[in-house]
């Protein structure tokens, strides 16, 4: 009988760990309403900063904050599952950085039907798909990614003097954030006929893929003079590939997000610049706006967050 009771306790304990282990991020217990922040991942410094901003606002407003994310940014299905669980949990508002601009639409519609306001951060939802599904979002909080890509492109054009060979590390294909950054960059390059894009490949936002993909680009295009990576994680991987090839300082590298490691690389001179878009502010604004919506106040359809290029000259 004792053995049987012990087995029951062990199974119950394992079940508890399995349930609690599905949640990534932190809960802040408070007497107020519960606001959820669902990010693409917690393995990227950009989203860690976003979480810190959300936590700061939650503490100030005395609301309960639930932060969850999938292991990888490409795991759209996991993000959908997280949102559906939060709807069943009956949180009062959900703030989302979509892993898929179209794929997220059914989850938004479910939240709408449950009367839960949805706020979108960083990556816009596909407006056509949302309209066709009859869904709506309360607000979008984020930077102009197209403008950021254009700024990066103009910087590289100027550094090369309007003449040179450029490579691109793209984000996830079909992903609004990466597509907008890529579009802005290409527009800047198109205005400079002396600049040639010799390679443009995805590295799925990840550092290790940035290393592998750019290592292959270096082997097939050793003449490459500059690289634009649609986020810093891919840029940092590319920098490692450049170092392994003995070409540190020979290739201009511009990233996007200005995460801590990216800033350090700029300070060391291994990365030339990055587009900063203030994720801490995004997270803070999201919780503040969600709190207003819960209390019957309105929210602007779009809340822009400042975007700019940082280099070694203005790093501090």
What counts of helices (H) and strands (E) characterise the chain? 11, 13
Give yes or no: residues 283 and 269 share one domain: no
Distance between CA atoms of residues 260 and 208, nearest Å: 17
Residues of the domain holding 117: 2-142+278-305
Distance between CA atoms of residues 288 and 63, nearest Å: 10
Is 183 a member of any domain?
yes
Residue 165 Cα distances to 180, 198, 216, angstroms: 22, 6, 16
Is 312 a member of any domain?
no
Give yes or no: residues 72 and 120 share one domain: yes
Tell me the two tokens of residue 155.
């910087």
Give yes or no: residues 103 and 185 share one domain: no
Give yes or no: residues 285 and 226 share one domain: no
Tell me the two tokens of residue 274.
């990055």
Judged by average pLDDT, the poorest of 6-20, 24-38, 69-83, 236-250 is 6-20
User: Looking at residue 37, what is its pLDDT?
Assistant: 98
Where residue 30 falls among pLDDT bands split at 50, 70, 90?
low
Residue (of 39, 108, 110) closest to 287 by Cα position: 39
Residue 23 Cα distances to 26, 36, 41, 240, angstroms: 8, 12, 12, 33
Give yes or no: residues 17 and 47 share one domain: yes
pTM of the model: 0.77
For strands 273-276 and 308-311, give the pairing.
antiparallel
Counting Cα atoms < 13 Å in the Cβ hemisphere of 75 gives: 16
Average confidence (pLDDT) over 276-280: 92
- Per-residue model confidence as pLDDT tens digits over 158-209: 999 999 999 999 998 878 889 999 999 999 999 899 999 999 999 999 999 9
Is 92 a member of any domain?
yes
- Here the contacts of 21-25 (C-beta below 8 Å, separation 24 or greater) are 23/66, 23/68, 24/67, 24/68, 24/69, 24/70, 24/71, 25/51, 25/66, 25/67, 25/68, 25/69
Give yes or no: residues 159 and 238 share one domain: yes
Residue 73 in contact with residue 42, Cβ under 8 Å? no
Is 311 a member of any domain?
no
Counting Cα atoms < 13 Å in the Cβ hemisphere of 47 gives: 27
Residue (of 223, 150, 221, 225) closest to 191 by Cα position: 150
Give yes or no: residues 260 and 298 share one domain: no
Residue 185 in contact with residue 260, Cβ under 8 Å? no
Distance between CA atoms of residues 70 and 81, nearest Å: 10
Give yes or no: residues 222 and 130 share one domain: no
- Per-residue model confidence as pLDDT tens digits over 88-146: 999 999 999 999 889 999 999 999 999 999 999 999 999 999 999 999 999 999 999 99
Is 314 a member of any domain?
no
Is 315 a member of any domain?
no
Where residue 2 falls among pLDDT bands split at 50, 70, 90?
very low
Give yes or no: residues 10 and 129 share one domain: yes
Q: At residue 149, does pLDDT exceed 70?
A: yes
Please give the order of strands across the beta sheet that includes 64-69. Answer: 27-28, 64-69, 34-39, 93-96, 118-121, 139-142, 302-304
Residue (of 35, 28, 179, 167) closest to 100 by Cα position: 179
Q: Which residues pair with 35 in a beta bridge?
A: 65, 93
Give yes or no: residues 270 and 299 share one domain: no
Is 217 a member of any domain?
yes
Where residue 10 falls among pLDDT bands split at 50, 70, 90?
very low
Is 293 a member of any domain?
yes
Give yes or no: residues 159 and 137 share one domain: no
Give yes or no: residues 130 and 196 share one domain: no
- Give the total number of structural domains in the chain: 2
CATH number of 74's domain: 3.40.50.2300
Residue (of 82, 80, 89) closest to 67 by Cα position: 82
């Amino acid at each position: 009988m004792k053995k049987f009771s012990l087995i029951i306790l062990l199974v119950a304990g394992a079940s508890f760990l399995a349930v609690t282990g599905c949640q990534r991020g932190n809960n802040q217990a408070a007497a107020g309403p519960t606001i959820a922040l669902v990010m693409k991942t917690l393995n990227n410094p950009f989203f860690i900063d976003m979480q810190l901003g959300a936590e700061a606002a939650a503490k100030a407003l005395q609301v309960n904050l639930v932060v969850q994310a999938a292991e990888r940014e490409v795991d759209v299905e996991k993000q959908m599952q997280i949102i559906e669980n939060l709807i069943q949990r009956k949180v009062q508002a959900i703030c989302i950085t979509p892993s898929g601009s179209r794929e997220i639409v059914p989850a938004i519609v479910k939240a709408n039907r449950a009367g839960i306001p949805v706020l979108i951060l960083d990556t816009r939802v596909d407006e056509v798909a949302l309209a066709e599904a009859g869904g709506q979002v309360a607000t979008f909080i984020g930077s102009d990614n197209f403008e950021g890509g254009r700024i990066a492109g103009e910087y590289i054009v100027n550094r090369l003097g309007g003449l040179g060979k450029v490579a691109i590390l793209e984000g996830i294909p079909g992903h609004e954030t990466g597509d907008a950054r890529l579009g802005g960059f290409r527009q800047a390059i198109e205005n400079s006929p002396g600049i040639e894009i010799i390679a443009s490949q995805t590295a799925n936002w990840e550092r290790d893929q940035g290393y592998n993909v750019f290592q292959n680009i270096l082997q097939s295009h050793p003449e490459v003079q500059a690289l634009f990576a649609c986020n810093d994680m891919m840029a940092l991987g590319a920098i490692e590939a450049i170092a392994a090839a003995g070409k540190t300082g020979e290739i201009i590298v511009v990233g996007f997000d200005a995460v801590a490691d990216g800033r350090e690389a700029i300070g060391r001179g291994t990365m030339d610049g990055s587009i900063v878009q203030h994720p801490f502010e995004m997270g803070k604004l999201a919780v503040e706006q969600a709190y207003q919506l819960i209390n019957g106040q309105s929210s602007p359809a779009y809340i822009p967050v400042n975007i700019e290029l940082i280099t070694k000259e203005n790093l501090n």
